[in-house]
Amino acid sequence: MVVNTIKENLRVNKKVATRKEIIFVEGDVIVPDAKPDVLNIICTSGVACIYKKEIIDEKIKIEGNVDTYIMYMTDDSEERTRGINTSLDISEVINIPNITSEMESNVCTNIKEIEAKVINERKISIKATIELNIEIFSKEEISIVNSLENDDEIKMLQEQLSVNSLVGSGETKIYAKDNVSIDNIDNLVEILKLEVGIGNRDIKISYNKVLTKAEAQVKIVYLTEDNRINKTTATIPIIGFVDIQDVNEGNFCDTNYEMRNIIVKANSVEEHSIYIEMEIAVTATAYEEKTINMIQDLYSPSENIEFNKKTVRTIAGKREISGTKEISERLKIEELQGRNIVDVDIVPNLIKQNVMGDKIMYNGELNLSFMLMGEDMEIMVKKESIPFDYSIENVNDADNLNVRTNVEVANQDFIIQEGGEVLANAQMNMNTVLDRNVNINTIDEVQTNGEREEQDYSIIMYIVKKGDSLWKIAKMFGSTVDDIARVNGIENEDLIYPGQKLFIPRYKRKGVSSNQASMINYA
């Protein structure tokens, strides 16, 4: 006979797979006829955009492009430095077991390196090394049995568990655009270098909507008509709304930003500005902290009980910790003598993560690339690195957490000192998202299947062994936790120990008489 159950719905967003892939994108570029021959490469920069993701069974297909900017030294004594802009296509199919087309994905790109080599004076080969951080999610709605209707004879072992239940998710496209000013005395010839990063991310949740806010941090190095090299920076707001039904201020929200397209072009000479437009896809996923009561096990002293048991994996304890790391370091750069700093690239890199007790510790380094120019307008690049440590204190259960840390360079300053020294100052925003995986053991389809074969109301002695609980013992013998505790004078039902002798009322075991049962000793 089927037993009526009381259920509670839970929506889970299971992380099916995470994958970090290194891919290589290569191509050749021909120097346009209007530009002088290549003598050597000064530096190469780029911006990666992913405009299409498609999950096929067991695979994810990723398409996009890398906009690259090559700054090179010419063989022309008057035009010492020039630049070339080109685009490399990204088309990659990555095998990931157990994923299907119904699942969703987040893909974050990180350009690790762009290398340009001179093949001949009119041809350059480019190779971009790109790190793809892929997360695959599966949404599922499950029913948790948390009670039974009108059956006092069935004993239930219940557990209370706090989990992050999925409220919903949504996506919006944001077009961020602006005219970035350059110095009024500069007449721009071409863009030599472009960097775009997304930082200062924030959200504000109102009913049914998530306001996402961030900033595109843009740096452009450009060449002027009088062969000077200059740079300009800008901060462009990225603001959009994501519609999520039933989201409210008490929820936690994950956001992900994917750059899909970028347009950069110089305005007319009179405007002294550069037009930038970016298409950015923003995904928001909202969770609520939900406490659920679950039946972990059940039995009846008088009836045979049958039920199905299943395990569902989800997340709990989702939270965000934000901090800052200040770095101030003196660097000795011999090559600085007689040269000026045109530009500095600064890239943070977390090398190692360790967990010790309630502390999460990081070792990392700041990779610096100084672009130096002498009086003869010749440019050279000098690379330096600054090691750093960072830690997060008082993290409960740190060993069992999923940890995702994002590092953003908020402020940077480089002051030239005497004797070829540079005082490098940087402030990094460290944003860490924590959660843990939990297995929910739930039951379903409860039914009775006749009376238990024997109901001998006798008492036996049982010796507790390792791993026992009063629930397990009661279920084994068809007794109850309350009866065993009462007979043995146990005040705390959770405190029993191996070797302890217990008297078990209402003993029952198939195929064994009550006289035989009284002689059995379970060690």
Same domain, 495 and 398: no
Q: Residue 312: pLDDT band by 50, 70, 90 thresholds? A: confident
Q: Quick one: average pLDDT of 163-180?
A: 94
Assess whether pLDDT exceeds 50 at residue 215.
yes
Amino acid at 333: I
Q: Is residue 60 part of a domain?
A: yes
Q: Is residue 469 part of a domain?
A: yes
List pLDDT tens digits, range 195-214: 999 989 999 999 899 999 99
Same domain, 193 and 96: yes
Q: Is residue 68 part of a domain?
A: yes
Buried b (16+ CB within 10 A) or exposed e, 452-463: beeebeebbebe
Per-residue confidence (pLDDT) for residue 150, from 0 to 100: 66
List pLDDT tens digits, range 44-62: 999 999 999 999 989 999 9
Q: Quick one: average pLDDT of 446-458?
A: 69
Same domain, 491 and 424: no
CA distances from 189 to 221, 267, 268, 343, 418 (A): 11, 11, 11, 18, 34
Q: Residue 476: pLDDT band by 50, 70, 90 thresholds? A: confident
Q: Residue 151: pLDDT band by 50, 70, 90 thresholds? A: low
Per-residue confidence (pLDDT) for residue 520, from 0 to 100: 36
Per-residue confidence (pLDDT) for residue 207, from 0 to 100: 87
Q: Is residue 40 part of a domain?
A: yes
Q: Is residue 261 part of a domain?
A: yes
List pLDDT tens digits, range 66-125: 999 999 999 887 888 999 999 999 999 999 999 999 999 999 999 989 999 999 999 999
CATH number at residue 483: 3.10.350.10
CA nearest neighbour of 268 among 332, 188, 198, 201 = 188
Assess whether pLDDT exceeds 70 at residue 14.
yes
Q: For the chain, give the percent of residues with pLDDT over 90.
A: 61
CA distances from 455 to 7, 242, 271, 507 (A): 32, 61, 95, 7
Same domain, 228 and 323: yes
Q: Residue 456: pLDDT band by 50, 70, 90 thresholds? A: low
C-alpha 168/C-alpha 442 separation (Å) is: 23
For the chain, the average pLDDT equals 89
Per-residue confidence (pLDDT) for residue 396, from 0 to 100: 84
Same domain, 242 and 272: yes
Q: How many CB atoms lie within 10 A of CB 413?
A: 11
Same domain, 513 and 419: no
Q: Which of 438, 462, 485 is the last residue of a domain?
A: 438
Tokens of 302: 């008088």
List pLDDT tens digits, range 364-413: 999 999 999 888 778 889 999 999 999 999 998 888 888 889 899 988 99
CA nearest neighbour of 481 among 309, 295, 293, 299 = 299
Same domain, 371 and 231: yes
User: How many domains does the chain divide into?
Assistant: 2
CA distances from 159 to 10, 145, 198, 297 (A): 15, 11, 43, 10
Q: How many CB atoms lie within 10 A of CB 274?
A: 22
C-alpha 478/C-alpha 463 separation (Å) is: 16
Same domain, 175 and 42: yes
Same domain, 106 and 226: yes
Q: Which of 404, 438, 472 is the last residue of a domain?
A: 438
Same domain, 357 and 425: yes
Assess whether pLDDT exceeds 50 at residue 35.
yes
CA nearest neighbour of 301 among 461, 458, 476 = 476
Q: Is residue 212 part of a domain?
A: yes
Per-residue confidence (pLDDT) for residue 357, from 0 to 100: 85
Per-residue confidence (pLDDT) for residue 512, from 0 to 100: 40
Assess whether pLDDT exceeds 50 at residue 513.
no
Q: Is residue 372 part of a domain?
A: yes
Q: Is residue 144 part of a domain?
A: no
Domain residue limits at 490? 453-517
Same domain, 413 and 457: no
Q: How many CB atoms lie within 10 A of CB 364?
A: 21
Q: Residue 517: pLDDT band by 50, 70, 90 thresholds? A: very low
Q: Which of 413, 438, 463 is the last residue of a domain?
A: 438
C-alpha 302/C-alpha 300 separation (Å) is: 5
C-alpha 74/C-alpha 390 separation (Å) is: 43
For 148, counting Cβ atoms within 10 Å of its Cβ (0-12 exposed, 13-18 middle, 19+ buried), the class is middle
Same domain, 257 and 222: yes
Picking from 296-300, 358-362, 380-384, 453-457, which range would have the lowest pLDDT averaged per residue?
Answer: 453-457
Picking from 41-55, 141-155, 157-171, which range would have the lowest pLDDT averaged per residue?
Answer: 141-155
Q: Quick one: average pLDDT of 249-265?
A: 93
Picking from 147-151, 161-165, 188-192, 437-441, which range would have the lowest pLDDT averaged per residue?
Answer: 147-151
Q: Residue 510: pLDDT band by 50, 70, 90 thresholds? A: very low
- Name the β-bridge partners of 174: 280
Assess whether pLDDT exceeds 50 at residue 516.
no
C-alpha 369/C-alpha 385 separation (Å) is: 9
pTM for this structure?
A: 0.82
Assess whether pLDDT exceeds 80 at residue 493.
yes
